[in-house]
Amino acid sequence: MLQSTSTLNVPKEGQVAQPTTKPGLTDAQVEFLRELVIKGGPEVQDYDRLVDLVNGLDPEQYPAFREIIAPALTEYSLQGWTLHKPFGYAGDFMVIEKIYQQYVSPNFLYRNWDRFYHIQHAARAVRNRKEFFKQLCARLESKNNSEKHVLILGSGPATDVFEYLDSRPDSKIHFELIDWDQNAIDYATEKNREHLNKITFHKMNVLRFRSHLLYDMIWSAGLFDYFKEKHFVYLLRKFEPLVAEEGEMVIGNFSRKNPTRCLMEAMGEWYLNHRSEYELMKLCLEAGIPEDRVMVDREPLGINLFLRIKGRG
Ligand SMILES: C[S@@+](CC[C@H](N)C(=O)[O-])C[C@H]1O[C@@H](n2cnc3c(N)ncnc32)[C@H](O)[C@@H]1O
């Protein structure tokens, strides 16, 4: 059986030399990966083998793995975009938008890599959270007929807002969107050009935001997973007082049970602070928010968890 060769295979005297392997991966793995590259990405029958291969790698083997599939990791594939981070950070508005739109490259060399990307649990969870957001907005609006205020931290492409407002031209929600990336703000502005009377953009770091308003909902998805505990708790303390009495704050965080974690890290160097329900609850307690005002919710796959913190009412 071929084995992983992070150590050197120096044949002893009289021994037949073993087949040469790429550092860290077996010859069979290398051959499989090269075949995928040549045929323009995995086909459905290759998915399980590729996922198993990646899940079985040691993080030290990731660079060798990426080297073999390097031709697929240009900015024209989603994996390559994720890896190269053209906007300077992982999870930029464009990659999130491509996940929402299930964008597939027209180029034969990348098409099947993109299809593989979208089928992964993490991408599906991202799409699910957009639906989750729209449901929360609809529920908020169904309470009564008064005007509502929703604040979004790390708004990215604002496709969630766009889809909601597009389906509800008579919506009474005014959205305030915070993002520190001007490219994200520009994209979201253009995307929502027909709804700009219901949106205010703030181009700034969420850590610096100030407001005298109280919000019916404060929503954040795809942001807190990037923060270490200290900043997470700081932001909870900062924004919780801005929740209206009957309102709520909803904070997304990827679960430790994310089955796509190895793929994200091995292919895209996309690192999140995955957290369990228990860890999320604990952060609330550290922020001084009592347990009886907090619950942990989830999208249907249970991968994107949501801390739901009730207002003080
Ligand atoms: C992963 S995207 C999520 C976008 C959106 N919430 C969604 O789920 O579709 C994260 C966004 O947060 C923004 N962001 C990251 N850190 C931020 C910070 N400290 N202050 C403001 N925006 C930030 C990024 O620019 C990016 O657009």
How many CB atoms sit inside 10 A of residue 95's CB? 24
Fold designation for 123-310: Rossmann fold (3.40.50)
Q: What is the pLDDT of residues 107-139, one digit of tens each?
A: 999 999 999 999 999 999 999 999 999 999 999
Q: What separation in Å is there between the alpha carbon of 68 and the centre of ligand 1?
A: 31
- Whole-prediction pTM value? 0.92
Asked whether 156 lines ligand 1 (CB < 6 A), one says yes
Are 18 and 42 in contact by the 8 Å Cβ rule? The answer is: no
Which residue of 93, 159, 177 sits with most ligand 1 atoms within 8 Å of its CB, as the best mutation to test the pocket?
A: 93
Q: Of 210, 197, 295, which Cα lies nearest the Cα of 251? A: 295
Phi, psi at residue 192, to the nearest 5°? -100, 25
Are 200 and 193 in contact by the 8 Å Cβ rule? The answer is: no
Q: What is the pLDDT of residues 223-232, one digit of tens each?
A: 999 999 999 9
> What is the spatial distance between Cα 44 and Cα 47, in angstroms, rounded to a whole number?
5
Question: Mean of the per-residue pLDDT values for the chain?
Answer: 93
> What is the spatial distance between Cα 194 and Cα 149, in angstroms, rounded to a whole number?
19
Beta strands 215-220; 148-153: pairing state: parallel
Which amino acid residue places its CA nearest to atom 9 of ligand 1?
156
Taken as a whole, the chain contains a residue count of: 313
> What is the spatial distance between Cα 92 and Cα 96, in angstroms, rounded to a whole number?
6
Asked whether 3 lines ligand 1 (CB < 6 A), one says no
- Domains of the chain, residue spans: 27-121, 123-310
pLDDT of residue 2: 30
Asked whether 205 lines ligand 1 (CB < 6 A), one says yes
Asked whether 252 lines ligand 1 (CB < 6 A), one says no
> What is the spatial distance between Cα 62 and Cα 65, in angstroms, rounded to a whole number?
5
Copy the structure tokens of residue 251: 């904070």
Asked whether 299 lines ligand 1 (CB < 6 A), one says no
Q: What is the pLDDT of residues 38-63, one digit of tens each?
A: 999 999 999 999 999 999 999 999 99
Spell out the per-residue pLDDT of the chain, length 313, in tens.
233 333 333 334 444 444 444 468 999 999 999 999 999 999 999 999 999 999 999 999 999 999 999 999 999 999 999 999 999 999 999 999 999 999 999 999 999 999 999 999 999 999 999 999 999 999 999 999 999 999 999 999 999 999 999 999 999 999 999 999 999 999 999 999 999 999 999 999 999 999 999 999 999 999 999 999 999 999 999 999 999 999 999 999 999 999 999 999 999 999 999 999 999 999 999 999 999 999 999 999 999 999 999 999 8
